[in-house]
Amino acid sequence: MRTQVVIIGGGPSGLLLGQLLHRKGIETVILERKTRDYVLARIRAGILETGLVNMMREAGVSERMDRECFVHHGTCISYENEMFDIDFHKLIGQNVIVYGQTELTHDLYDARDAVGARTIFEVEDVQICDADRDAPYVTFNSGGVEQRIDCDFVAGCDGFHGVSRTTIPDTVRKDYEKVFPFGWLGILSETPPVHDELIYANSDRGFALCSMRNENLSRYYVQCALTDKVEDWSDEDFWDELKRRVPEAIADKLVTGPSIEKSIAPLRSFVSEPMRWGRLFLCGDAAHIVPPTGAKGLNTAASDVHYLYEALVQYFQDNETHGIDHYSQKALARVWKAERFSWATTNLLHRFPDQSEFDLKMQRAEIESLHYNEVAQKWFAQNYVGLPY
């Protein structure tokens, strides 16, 4: 087989890149380790920045998103019994939308099917060969048969556990990491959201988040210990704990119900540099992870896709290599800013095991400055809605 770009990973990064390139007449093959149903069953975050929304439109995949999404003009922060709103629209004239990553991935698969672009599922033993030479190729096993695809470029969109990042030799690659000493226990329930905006809650008992997918589907999280197991938490325990961490007025109107999904995710900040090695480019979770506190995971993947898409179009249409040569530098400049926002928001809102009384006072002072200082709110708003590409 031969194609122009082999995309490893059929998550949102790989699918969006494939769809955008297809619209410019650039051919791709996507190799995905799991089945399509497995990929679509993953529950992930659901806040989209304008940059990603615009790319979905440019890719011609926004019809359902535009119809079904909720526009959020701001977000709420609570501490003890206080709650305040950061009004993005008023502060900087922008907003975000609520549309689940699962739905977005669904739409991208449907669009890929509609244009007849090739996706090979359940591939094993993917290996990227000669990425540092002029004629790279990818080998893999599909249904017990060894296969090879020759290509011009490889896009490593295979998430944190993929093969792309580790194809870059250790002598070239440097990883930066911070592991947080807690996780998030999340549930999805078919209940109406407790509030019309998200609530990020700092409390003595730890962080909590009230989020949503639609008018009858809510997503809630509580900070938990890394040693906790999902089985340790009954639905009742979860709801009781959530109610203790949000202001009373919110707890009083919370509608509870059985969970339809419950999972624990660890929190980590991670960046791998560089994001390009020869003809291999890393995109999304393959190159970086953020703690979910600022909803930056999917959105940061999207900005990588934007830079890579631009670079590949320049190359194939104008034989211009500037975009490719500067991809890593451009993508990383934005990635580090998203890392900083996610790390800072995580520090602001969680309880840490080794926090001293002084540390708690500092956290409180920082939250109050976000509550009462418009400059601090503007900084938060600019980062939350997404820095420009």
CB of 58 to ligand PHB, least distance (A): 24
Instruction: Verify whether residue 72 is a known catalytic residue.
Output: yes
Instruction: Verify whether residue 292 is a known catalytic residue.
Output: yes
- Kindly tell me which residue out of 10, 11, 46, 159 binds ligand PHB, with binding defined by CB under 6 A: 46
Task: Please tell me whether residue 186 binds ligand APR under the rule CB under 6 A.
Answer: no
> How big is the site for ligand APR, counted in residues (CB under 6 A)?
28
> Please, are residues 303 and 330 in contact by the beta-carbon 8 Å criterion?
no
Two tokens, residue 382: 């600019």
Instruction: Verify whether residue 12 is a known catalytic residue.
Output: no
Name which of 210 and 295 has its Cβ closer to ligand APR: 295
CB of 75 to ligand PHB, least distance (A): 8
> Please, are residues 92 and 381 in contact by the beta-carbon 8 Å criterion?
yes
Task: Please tell me whether residue 218 binds ligand PHB under the rule CB under 6 A.
Answer: no
Determine the Cα–Cα distance for residues 108 and 103; give it in Å rounded to an integer. Answer: 9
Active-site residue (options: 79, 99, 109, 200) = 200
> Please, are residues 131 and 278 in contact by the beta-carbon 8 Å criterion?
yes
Stretch that binds ligand PHB, among 42-50, 51-59, 243-251, 351-359 (CB under 6 A): 42-50
Alpha helices in the chain (DSSP H): 12-23, 36-41, 50-58, 63-68, 88-92, 101-115, 164-167, 235-245, 248-253, 297-318, 322-349, 357-372, 374-385
Task: Please tell me whether residue 386 binds ligand PHB under the rule CB under 6 A.
Answer: no
Query: Which residues lie across from 266 on neighbouring strands?
Result: 183
Active-site residue (options: 12, 193, 292, 315) = 292
Task: Please tell me whether residue 211 binds ligand PHB under the rule CB under 6 A.
Answer: yes
Task: Please tell me whether residue 45 binds ligand PHB under the rule CB under 6 A.
Answer: yes
Angle at 334 between CA 331 and CA 335, to 5 degrees: 80
Residue 279 near which of ligand PHB, ligand APR, none (CB within 5-8 Å, type-dependent): none
> Please, are residues 328 and 275 in contact by the beta-carbon 8 Å criterion?
yes
CA dihedral 254, 361, 87, 56 (to 10 degrees): -80
Determine the Cα–Cα distance for residues 254 and 31; give it in Å rounded to an integer. Answer: 43
Task: List the interface residues with ligand PHB, window 289-318 (CB under 6 A).
Answer: 292-295
CA 215 to mean position of chain CA atoms: 22
Q: Which residues are catalytic, by number?
A: 72, 200, 292, 296, 384
- Residues making contact with ligand PHB (CB under 6 A): 45-47, 198, 211, 219, 292-295
- Residues making contact with ligand APR (CB under 6 A): 8-14, 31-34, 39, 44-45, 101, 123, 126, 157-159, 161-163, 284-285, 297-298, 301
